[in-house]
Every structure is written in structure tokens, then in C-alpha cells.
Homo-oligomer: A and B are copies of this chain.
Amino acid sequence: MITFITGNQNKLREAREILGDVEGHEIDLPEIQEVDPHIIIKAKMDEAKKQGLKNFIVEDTSLYFDGLNGLPGPLIKWFLDKLGNDGLYDLVKDKDPKAQAKTIIGYSDKEGKISYHEGIIEGEIVAPKGDTNFGWDPIFKPDGHDKTFAEMGPEEKNTVSMRKMALEELKKYLTE
């Protein structure tokens, strides 16, 4: 059974839907200051290994603005915290609106071998619309859709889930 290092029950449920038997494990792993998510995930996995964990996954979901040369990326939580969705939109409203929502899953197998599995959704940063319950969902409109993540119901959102894509990639890797 794979261990998913997370305290987020929604993410855990999503992982179970795709990978089957997954147990959640909540430990406090330090998040280092970096804009490359692989380095952040690697640091977390090294720490989890030190604590004796095997066969586990760590996840990072970040938002990359083309108009800010890839910022905020993994720093999105601080941007959102300090500026809110209005402030985030304001940063790029006169710039290139293209953005990527990206999930990277780091997997450390029983022998400690590490692999990374990505899911990327291309889209645009727009003025906040929809339900404001979940992070930056109100400002991200995936390409080919008229709605932001926050305006979509669970079913539609499920068709453009970068986290689901990354989990499917991992599943492929595990079954090969």
C-alpha cells in the first residue's frame, strides 16, 4: 500500500479513486524556499525517508503565470495570502494572461528510488469569477472552457484536473 503524505482528505480521496489502496499520513515536512517544485518535493521526500517512510508520495500543485516568467509557481500560497485573487489578477491584467496549473507527484518506492509524475492544465488568468471557497480557483480559466475552476461543478472540473492527470501518470508508471 502506498502512503500519501498529506493531511488533506479531498486529495487522499482523489488518490484512492485512481490508485486504489492508499493510506494517508500526516507529518510536518519543511517546505524549502524554491521556485522549482522538484527541489521542494525532493527535500520533503528526503526528510520523510529520514523518518523511516517507504513507498510514499508527496504532492505539489502550483500556478505559473507566463506574464511573470513563471512566478508565483510554488510561491502561490504567499501571493494568494498577501494579495488575494483580485490582487493576483491585477498583477497580470495588462500582461500575457497565459498560465499553467501544474501538479507534480514525487514517488519514492520501496527501495527509495524517486520518480516524478506531472499533470499540467493550460489556461488563462481572468478576473475572479465563481465560488471563492478554494484557493485560486476563481482566477484560473482552463483553455477550451468558458468557466473558471470556481464556476465549474465537480464533474466538469474533474475533466480538467491536473492532480488527476498526475495520479494517472503515476498509475501508469506503477503498472508498467
Number of interface residues of A (CB under 8 A): 21
- Which of B33, B35, B68 is within 8 Å of A32, CB to CB? B33
- Listed by A's residue number, 11 A-B pairs whose Cβ atoms lie within 8 Å are A30-B43, A33-B34, A33-B40, A35-B78, A35-B81, A35-B82, A68-B82, A69-B83, A71-B82, A75-B75, A91-B91
Task: List A74-88 residues whose CB lies under 8 Å from chain B.
Answer: 74-75, 78-79, 81-83, 87
- Contacts A30-B43, A31-B33, A35-B78 aside, 16 further interface pairs with beta carbons under 8 A come to A30-B30, A30-B32, A31-B32, A32-B32, A33-B33, A33-B40, A33-B78, A35-B81, A68-B82, A68-B83, A68-B87, A69-B82, A69-B87, A70-B82, A71-B78, A71-B79
Interface residues of A (CB under 8 A from B): 30-35, 40, 43, 68-71, 74-75, 78-79, 81-83, 87, 91
Q: Report whether B75 and A33 are in contact in the complex, using a CB–CB cutoff of 8 Å.
A: yes
Chain B residue contacts of A70, Cβ below 8 A: 82
Chain B residue contacts of A91, Cβ below 8 A: 91
Chain B residue contacts of A32, Cβ below 8 A: 30-33
Chain B residue contacts of A30, Cβ below 8 A: 30, 32, 43
Chain B residue contacts of A35, Cβ below 8 A: 78, 81-82
* Distance from A73 Cβ to chain B, minimum over Cβ atoms (Å): 8
Closest-by-CB residue of B relative to A94 is B94
Closest-by-CB residue of B relative to A81 is B35
